[in-house]
A and B are shown apart, each in its own frame.
Chain A
Amino acid sequence: MDWIFNHLVTLILFIPTLAALLMLFLPAAKITLLRWWAFIASLIPFLLSLVVWARFDADGKGFQFVEHTIWYRSLNASYHLGVDGISLTLVVLTTFLTPLAILASYSIQERVKAYMILFLLLETGMLGVFLSLDLLLFFVFWEIGLVPMYFLINQWGGSNRNYASLKFILYTMGGSLGLLLSIQLMGVVAGTYDLPLLFERWANLKEATLLGMPTETVKSIIFWAFVVAFAIKVPVWPFHTWLPDAHTEAPTAGSMILAGVLLKLGGYGFLRLVLPLFPQQAHQFAGYLALLATLAVILGALGAWAQKDFKRLVAYSSINHMGFVVLGIAAAAWAAGTENAVIAVNGAVLQMVTHGLSSAGMFFLVGVIYERTHTRNLEEYGGLFTLVPVYGGILLFVAMGSLGLPGLAGFVSEFLVIRGVWPVFTLATALSMIGLFFTGAYILKALRQVLHGPLNERWVGHLTEINLREIVVIAPMMALMLLIGVYPAWILDVINRAVMMWF
């Protein structure tokens, strides 16, 4: 038992991989077995992460559940894992969403074995990013996450999947190229990849030079490489156009994870690496970041409003919502050390969680109706509330969560971001309200086209009500949205204490 409790994060990280490897030996024809195997295997990390949550000391300084072993001695890279309040929240989000996404994938009929293996590998990749306390390790997991997602889109995606998957992987690879080079640069200049060590040394590093370049130049280069990589991942306007394609073409569960977790890697990168390691540069360029974030909020909402494809509309909504995350980060970069920064980052981290819930939920619900109607064109629905009242009620609930209705989770986080950013970037906050208004417009547009209006007779007798498995997938997300919306303190307290240590 002791061994388990001492290696909780390693177990969380690698149980999905282990399950994927064992799955190679299971017969490919036994689809039911494969599904349940993957589902149960992904539940274990979730339960373990709940154990971590329960045993986590919110007041504790620094990282907890740390595991540290030499990895590449010659490079000074180590296998170094640990969590704080920020990463723990995202780890739990990941382990929470993955089983639900796998359960949502029960409708996949082709090559189930390969699909499930990829999904489990994907989980390890994402968790690794949140858990790593070593830059090289961070990068390895960062890249590992890409590959399964590429194949998920490319093999199980929609009609335009080749274009979308290629765009996705090339775009993100383009970003991570700079990331890799600058991580190596940091390793060379600082002599270590270890993050806790870098947090102590890097920001105050003065005399390190490389190829005759002054320290500040080196830092600026690395800063920009990091920013670009994470900005693509979030995505910040104008690096966002891979997202609607990838999200729209990915299979339902793939979209859930893409929107629910993968985008958060970018936001997490900003919070974990960019702000603590480059406070001066971050402060210097915070205004530009705020500008881009505001553009993402406004243009993302307008873009969503312009869509005729239900799934693409939801995809664009992610740009809109993630804009608030970046806006909060920008405010924290500018006003580090103030209460405003703390509130803004609280909001940004919580927004990552709440967007994870609402966007995964929305993508799932789009998937539910797509599987039955084989269309995503909003104009081909109409009046479906009559046919599927339970589905309609659920869709209303989740859509309102996405809209940021007070009482559900999205409101708390958006409110905190706006409150934190207002004294820092007042104009940007005011302008982002335009985006928030159009959030309402596109959500209502979707509901109007799908549920309301005269019934499209074409679906009578064809559209069946949401089934029990699907309700089991969506119900936990709804419960969490409500819980966070009504009483956010239980999760915000953990985030808040961690954020106070950092910002």
Chain B
Amino acid sequence: MTTELLTWLVPLPPLLTFFLIPLFTHRKNGLSHWLAILGAGVSWLLSMVIFFRAASISHLSEHPLTLAVNWIPTGENWLQIGVHVDPQTAVTLFFVAWTILMIFIYSVGYHNYGQPKGDHDQKGLPPHGATVTEHGHAHKVPSVEPMYARFFAFFGLFAFGMYLLVVTDNLLTLFIGWEIMGLCSYLLIGFWYARPSARDAAVKAFLTTRVGDMFLMLGLVALYSITGTLNYQAILHNEEVLARLASAVSPVLGLSWAGLIGILIFIGAVGKSAQFPLHVWLPDAMEGPTPVSAMIHAATMVSAGVYLVARFFPLISAGWTPGEPLTAAMLVVAAIGTFTALFAATIAPAQDDIKRVLAYSTISQLGFMMAALGIGAYVAAVFHLVTHAFFKALLFLGSGSVIHGMEHGVLHTGEHIDPQDMQNMGGLRARMPLTFWTFLIGGLALSGFPVLTAGFWSKDEILSGAFNGGFVLVFVVLALAALLTAFYTGRQITLTFLGKPRTSAAEHACESRWSMTIPLCILAFFSVVLGWAGIPEKFPLLGGVIPNWFGAFVGSMAAEGAHGAEAHHSSIPLLTSLVVALGGLLLGWLVYRNTEAGAPDPLKKLGMVYVLLRRKYYFDELYHFIFIRPAMWIAEVLVYAWGDLKIIDGILHFIGNAGTWLGNFLRGAVDQPIISNGGDALASGAREAGGRLRVIQTGRVQQYMLISIVVTVLVGILLLLLASA
């Protein structure tokens, strides 16, 4: 089959499983997960075929593989949708396919497949453990997830959304995949829906990202209205269209249309990739099961935002040549990205929940990518997107494995502690060696541990891109953020795995099953080797030994100069990355290596600053106060209670009452006195006259005769008089 046709097929298997599982197999856990893994596996296989085929095609970026069909008639024309494979699609497909498949397999173990049903488990709540009796005495073990099949069905839809987003050739279907993932994040963050915190986090995630989506939608229709198409190739690789967009002035703030649309699209990505100021949903999204966190925060959804901005990089940078001042849209992207990178990195060290630390680190790393895109280092951004997906998926799954092990300990000892709190851990290195070593690799990659890890190469490329491009402020801020990253990673590894167990649950934690640890190993493998695919040629010693395949392949997508470090290499950024990575890790280890059980966190010495960081700068409270409460007041009081019930219905009721009053008035003033009483008067007058005349109606013939004679005589006299006169 042609690659184009294969690409059409990529998203479909997971979608099929989404329909098949609830309809047919939801009572059978094993069948459901095999079906889901089979679907993800087929998509993975197709993706790999496409990736390797695409990698072997020369000039792919100028002549991407496309295949489109008519979808919506718009007057004389059709809006077409289809697939599009170029280097960016190919590398994205690569990491998406691997991470999704790994997360699927991992979920089997995470949800305790094969374990007994829980004693008191109910749907909508996490499993609480089951009591089993062995050798005459009962003890508690983890129990299987009560909504096991449903989880895999939702996951199928999620994978479909991401694959659709990646393979599509136009912004509209990208948006469809984008929103389907939004739905899935809602469903999966709120997977344990009976927990109020999970339910609220789900709503928060959906609505916060929806703010961004509304802007994205505007950007989409604006782009469509002006260019008459949404196809990437027709807009982004068409100099004439880009030039027109860059020169036409939009009605907003004097921006060009390219600038305005670029910013609107970027706001969509701000929501999805949890950039400041729409970052608030992501830490709460940790309410979902850990595979979900990995799915949302590494493999799929948040990466989609960066993917989108990278995809529209030609539009955002329309009219820009390297070395010149940034376009307005690039400036916005760079500013938000850089700020977010540091902002989130400051919050992470003050968190104790193992997943929340990772959540803030995700926000921060996505900020790195955005910043790179904003300063024109397109290749570095995509490179970091790919490597980050692997090591962040690894870290999330690793933390899930830790939590799992801790839960085992909690069930075993009956201790009432939070199994996600790092302060309760310590010394897990001995109990969970595989998890430790893989987590260590992920952590080092995240910190940018030199040379060995993939994270080093991609982060170094961003830093050197910023430095060599002359964006000193960006460089300094990102370096600071990188330092903090290494610090909190060092803290996390030390608190979790090193030292001595601080609770008896941690003492009794046990290593996870192979279905969880094998994905960890595979992801760890990629977290190391992937970096070697993108070693810059001018790197000291190593440069040129292994060809910079990534730079060449993806670099063909962008104009010259967007290659980041390559143009003029300086050793300052390299030294900086070495210092911040190693220094941060060391610092984290030094500060936390001797943490005792129950001892306060050393950072508490910072006082108010610690509280501020711990409470995430009070953004949740702030938003609640300035957005949510006023919006509710406007809706409930202003619009409904006053607007509809008091004013509009008030006017209606007034008209109604006026009608009733007028009716009553007419009845009282006209009907009753004149018409009704007039008629009555006529009738009663007649009756009265009749009554008076009744006296002559005696019934005696003589009297009638007499009256007749009298009348006849009188009339006769009258006639005579008249005749004579």
Contact = CB atoms under 8 A, between A and B. Distances in A.
Task: Decide whether A and B assemble into one complex.
Answer: yes
Interface of A: 167, 170-171, 238, 240-241, 244, 299, 302-303, 305-307, 339-340, 342-343, 346, 383, 385-386, 389, 393, 396, 400, 405-407, 411-412, 415-416, 418-419, 422-423, 426, 429-430, 433-434, 436-438, 440-441, 444-445, 448, 451-455, 487-489, 492-493, 496-497, 500
A394 to B, nearest CB: 11
A339 B76 contact: yes
Contact of A241 (B71, B190, B648): B648
A189 B643 CA distance: 41
A416 B75 CA distance: 11
A452 B652 contact: no
A419 B224 contact: yes
B76 to A, nearest CB: 7
Contacts of B74: 339, 342-343, 346, 416, 419, 496
Contacts of B123: 385-386, 389
B611 to A, nearest CB: 30
Given A241-B652, A405-B180, 13 more contacts: A238-B648, A299-B643, A346-B73, A385-B194, A407-B176, A415-B217, A416-B74, A422-B222, A433-B217, A436-B214, A448-B200, A448-B203, A493-B73
A434 B634 CA distance: 13
Contact of B225 (A170, A423, A488, A497): A423
Interface string B164-188: 0000000010011011100100110
Contacts of A440: 206-207, 210
7 contacts: A241-B644, A340-B225, A419-B224, A430-B218, A441-B207, A444-B186, A489-B70
B640 A306 contact: yes
Contacts of A452: 124, 190, 193-194, 199, 202
Given A307-B640, A444-B206, A453 B196 contact: yes
Nearest to A488: B72
6 closest A-B pairs by CB: A406-B176, A306-B640, A342-B75, A302-B635, A306-B636, A496-B73
Contacts of A386: 122-124, 194
Nearest to A435: B214
B221 interface: yes
B706 to A, nearest CB: 65
Most buried by A among B210, B632, B649: B210
B251 interface: yes
Given A342-B74, A393-B22, A303 B183 contact: no
Nearest to B659: A170
Given A305-B635, A406-B175, A455-B124, A488 B71 contact: yes
A454 B194 contact: yes
Given A339-B76, A444-B203, A492-B72, A303 B22 contact: no
B193 A383 contact: yes
A489 B71 contact: yes
A444 B207 contact: yes
Contacts of A445: 203
Given A385-B124, A453-B194, A492-B72, A429 B221 contact: yes
Nearest to B224: A419
A353 to B, nearest CB: 14
Contacts of B200: 448
A497 B217 CA distance: 26
Given A492-B72, A492-B73, A302 B640 contact: yes
A419 B228 CA distance: 10
Interface residues of B, number: 55
Instruction: Provide the main secondary structure of the chain A interface.
Output: helix
A393 B224 CA distance: 35
Nearest to A245: B649
Contact of B639 (A299, A389, A393, A451): A299
Contacts of B172: 415
Most buried by A among B70, B73, B211: B73
A451 B636 contact: no
A306 B76 contact: no
Contacts of A437: 207, 210-211, 214
A123 B109 CA distance: 56
A452 B125 CA distance: 11
Contacts of A238: 648
A418 B196 contact: no
A228 to B, nearest CB: 14
A161 to B, nearest CB: 17
Contact of A339 (B75, B207, B221): B75
A444 B186 CA distance: 10
A455 B200 CA distance: 15
Interface in B606-647: 632, 634-636, 639-641, 643-644
Nearest to A439: B210
Nearest to B206: A444
A144 B649 CA distance: 26
Nearest to B211: A437
Contacts of A423: 225
A385 B124 CA distance: 8
A385 B206 CA distance: 19
Contacts of A441: 207
A458 to B, nearest CB: 15
Contacts of B176: 406-407, 411
Nearest to A393: B22
A361 to B, nearest CB: 17
Contacts of A412: 72
Contacts of A346: 73-74
A238 B642 CA distance: 13
A195 B614 CA distance: 71
Nearest to B649: A241
Most buried by B among A240, A340, A437, A453: A453
A491 B5 CA distance: 26
Nearest to A238: B648
A400 B190 CA distance: 15
A433 B22 contact: no
Contact of A407 (B77, B180, B643): B180
Given A400-B183, A422-B225, A423-B225, A433 B207 contact: no
Contacts of A340: 225
Contacts of B194: 383, 385-386, 452-455
Contacts of A342: 74-75
Given A303-B640, A306-B636, A385 B72 contact: no
Nearest to A343: B74
B252 to A, nearest CB: 9
A248 to B, nearest CB: 13
Nearest to B250: A426
A237 B295 CA distance: 43
